[in-house]
Structure 1
Amino acid sequence: MTYDLGVRLAAEFIGTAIMVLLGNGSVANVDLKGTKGNGSDWLLIAVGYGAGVMIPAMMFGAISGNHINPAFTVGLAASGMFPWSEVLPYIAVQMAGAMFGQLLVVAAYKPHYDLTTNTQHVLGTFSTISATKSKLNGFVNEFIGSYILFIGALGITKAPFFQNNLGTAHMGLGFLVATLVASLGGPTGPALNPARDLGPRILHALLPLKHKGSSDWGYSWVPVVAPILAAILAVFTYKVLFIKG
């Protein structure tokens, strides 16, 4: 069944909002002062982001393709697997969805934002930060993680043994993201998604948070450019090697 563009855009907006709400919500639970989860380990964040991708995929994978990621949208279009005429509308609603999801995180955790004086912890609930303050390492980390994410997403959703049960494939996407966060999340966060980082970072700059600190705009291009380049290469690789015709 083919859905109208408006329906697909609504799915992308809601899906991206859910992803950011559940993903950055898990970061807020771990890093903000006074929460019931404060001080929990990285596994909680990996689970939050894994479920944050899996749940929209199961809800909207058959409707919009569940891109919820501008890099994936651009990567698919660059290899002729998605129409360029729909790229900008998809990216626009993905960005809007990411910002809306982040607003929900702030609303849910507002008292804990007020209690948290560590500005890096506050920023970390919005966007990614290089642990070593290295743009080069951040770029390498984001590129590797994003490449595995996108080639993995195509490989899982197009695997022959999943074709009669795409719901199982979409569950697999959640495990892929959770594993990427657990295995490659240490250096940067990671973003793996321009909307997930840039949308909330814009909100961080705009919102009157009590202990805000810098939005680190000098680093902001890394989690935008690296995933886009990785997506273009990953989709091209998969198409050349594994898609016939």
Structure 2
Amino acid sequence: MKITVIGGTGLIGSQLVPKLREAGHTVEPASLSTGVDLLTGKGLADALTDAETVVNVTNSPTFDAASPDFFRTTMGNLLTAGEQAGVRHQVVLSIVGVDRVPQLDYYRAKTLQEELLRNGPTAYSIVRATQFFEFVDAIMSWTSDEDTVRLPATRLQPIAAADVVAALAATATAAPLNGTLDVAGPDVYALDELGRRTLAARGDRRTVVTDDRAGMFAAVQGDMLIAGPGANIAPTSYEAWLAATR
């Protein structure tokens, strides 16, 4: 099977491409660096030639009010090019709880992306993942200084990027779901506690201050980002991942 991975050189795509190749598939990574511009459609036709499945793991370059336009344009281009190329399965990586947090611009944008896919011309699968372990440092950097890291107590169920890749690979090589699969890590943490565990594991002496107004996730209440019944629970714990990445 030929599979085209849109965003094939990023955090997820760069792991997904070799995993699919190891399983015996012909895989084409597509990104700006390979000459494919999803915003303009440049290079899409060539990248999708003979592809049976497309996996879209692209991100908007910003998380602000401009992100809906990015996903509206890129999904439109991808669905049109895919239909013309005869693609039979479109897979998109999304976020657990994305439709429950309309106060976040980026989550509204991803919800729009999902809606466009559902209403498109091709059979589809949506893989919704929780926040990646690999993003915890970036989340902390938004509200930190030399001495403190300010984080809300928002509840998260983070997952290793490698486990997300495994779920995407399995979905891309199976029959279309025409629905949604949730994947999440094995444990739930308050974000401020996750920050404390991360700093302690790395010998970082900064103090985590609980601040329910700090950062993007301060807008999220309750268990909106926690996986519900029926989710696939990945095996890798955050503690094991921290130990392996020290």
Normalised-by-shorter TM-score class: under 0.3
Bigger proportion of residues as strand: 2
When Rg is computed on C-alpha atoms for both structures, the one with the higher figure is: 2
Bigger proportion of residues as helix: 1
Give the alignment's TM-score, normalised by structure 2. 0.27
